[in-house]
A and B are shown apart, each in its own frame.
Chain A
């Protein structure tokens, strides 16, 4: 029997038993639904990582000189202990670092912590406070909606001025123009001079709850009380120039810290690539965990289909007998039931894909989770549905094909 004919026959059978069929499909549908949803979320997160996170938070062709890496997998206790023994990075390191950098590279100082801020117009609230120096705004691609950036003089003098994120502006200065108004952090009043363009959120964490002040302002004593800094950010014009700059800085730091040739670095230089590789590994783990659970659903769905097909073979024994008496060979009956199981299961998968996509879209719209439906996951889910159907149909179909036509015809 041609396949198309068999698929039509299978669809007719399914249509004739709508309720039973829909229960049969449920397992595969739910399995595929979660599979699509999970893969979409992981995929959405990693797309976000690649497109937004790396560029926005870390910057392109950028590395950060730090005491130890922030994005690292499988940190052992020894590693952690070694990191704690490392010398810190200080503002005083900046002078020598900038000396070895080529003239076309940018640099910035980062010193960040969460601090409580307050204004005369709203309740106090925690904000992400950054004490910055150098080309921080250029490297981070920050743009202003109103006001201005720090002047060179303000940076050098450590004037208590602030550029604030859009959420900070709306919270602390409701319906007011924040420019020229006061925001207190750590008891010290800062004058707001600029408001940043809205950044959006990353995994539900707002990127707009941010305040920035010149490094030399009193803010750095709050963000890094020990007098050190979080890191020195260096941005080169090209990837190659970045590698060169990294080498120069490494040599300088090793010399400054008197490291002998065989000794490992006691500082870290993190790039957006190294941060991304961390997320790649994380994504792999999420995918394995996220697909293992729906896979169990698919196995259960397959068993349900096998069970239903066995029932169908028993119920339709007479039909099988009739078909055999009219000249159906074993392989015709085998194909009929295999295709029926595969059609049933593929149908379940297609419904599951629809629901999964809907869930992904809903999550994307209603929650901070960035979900994006990956085309490969739709193709894979459809194939998976078909394969589950064929695999679970083999046993019942073989049973049907081996029925004795006389006994089958005699069945009531």
Chain B
């Protein structure tokens, strides 16, 4: 166990460990590491002007970590989230997700990885408006080729996990914001993904509901789910055990929550 490990808290990788795993370019990381990026670069061509959104990002995240990625707008945190979420591929650098080199994959392979390894939770929930909560949660299983009966069972189970067992046949417009986000969380969890990737999950919610959703994440993290949350709000980021701060496409700091709290004055 590392020196950083504190009893009663989640395991957090140490800086030294992270530096070691990032340094071995080209090699598949130990299975303990869910995410390892090495020199990740992403540039966009915005009408002739090259925007360098990420300029060489090294991130290593261990299984079971609860990490927040922070940064002001334009810092590259959305780009990093898209890359980690396999919605986009880097121009340069390596991205290893659960032992697979994702940065070299084709569109369809990426779709497979998104389906199996990643559970998305979006700021705007992104539920299908015409589908019931149950059907929304079933969707990832549909694309995974799971049979209809098993799909139903697992979706119901996932909804029960977020305390929505009695709302399965409601459509999104019949649910409150917090309930919608919990449906989205159930959908993200139903395929038992390696990482739960949340993008500003409380951005559209009031503070009470935000707290309720953060408690759901807390419970999931405690039960062993790797959670990565992208946010620009310091008090939301403070729920995580480790906070990565991006600035101008580079990592500005990567530290334990306590250090971040002190820095942010929380």
Contact = CB atoms under 8 A, between A and B. Distances in A.
A322 B111 contact: no
B87 A323 contact: no
A16 B171 CA distance: 13
B126 A327 contact: no
B111 A328 contact: yes
Contacts of A12: 130
Given A406-B87, A406-B88, A409-B122, A327 B112 contact: yes
Contact of A409 (B126, B139, B148, B191): B126
A322 to B, nearest CB: 5
A16 B142 CA distance: 21
Contact of A326 (B107, B108, B140): B140
B85 A325 contact: yes
Contacts of A405: 87
Interface residues on A, range: 20 to 34
A323 B139 contact: yes
A150 to B, nearest CB: 80
Given A324-B111, A325-B87, A326-B120, A332 B143 contact: yes
A321 B139 CA distance: 13
A283 interface: no
B88 A322 contact: no
Contacts of A318: 126
A329 B108 contact: yes
Interface string A307-321: 000000000001101
B217 to A, nearest CB: 19
A327 B107 contact: no
Interface in A156-176: none
Interface in B83-113: 85, 87-88, 107-108, 111-112
Contacts of A326: 114-115, 120, 139-140, 143, 187
A322 B126 contact: yes
Contact of A330 (B88, B107, B128): B107
B218 to A, nearest CB: 24
Nearest to B82: A406
Contacts of B139: 322-323, 326
A321 B125 CA distance: 13
Interface string B135-166: 00001101110001000000000000000000
Interface string A243-256: 00000000000000
Contacts of A327: 111-112, 114-116, 140, 143-144, 191
B81 to A, nearest CB: 10
Given A326-B139, A327-B144, A319 B128 contact: yes
Given A318-B126, A406-B87, A406-B88, A329 B111 contact: yes
Contacts of A322: 126-128, 139
Contacts of A406: 82, 87-88
Nearest to B117: A327
B201 to A, nearest CB: 15
Nearest to A325: B120
A16 B130 contact: yes
A65 B85 CA distance: 89
Q: Which of the listed residues A1, A318, A325, A406 has the most CB atoms from chain B within 10 Å of its own CB? A: A325
Given A322-B127, A327-B114, A329-B108, 13 more contacts: A1-B143, A5-B142, A321-B126, A323-B139, A327-B111, A327-B144, A328-B143, A329-B107, A329-B111, A329-B112, A330-B107, A406-B88, A409-B126
13 contacts: A1-B143, A5-B148, A16-B130, A322-B128, A323-B143, A324-B87, A325-B120, A327-B115, A327-B143, A329-B108, A330-B108, A406-B87, A406-B88
Interface of A: 1, 5, 12-13, 16, 318-319, 321-332, 405-406, 409
Interface of B: 82, 85, 87-88, 107-108, 111-112, 114-116, 120, 122, 126-128, 130, 139-140, 142-144, 148, 187, 191
Which 6 A-B pairs have CB atoms at the shortest separation, nearest pair first? Answer: A327-B115, A327-B143, A329-B111, A329-B108, A326-B140, A322-B126
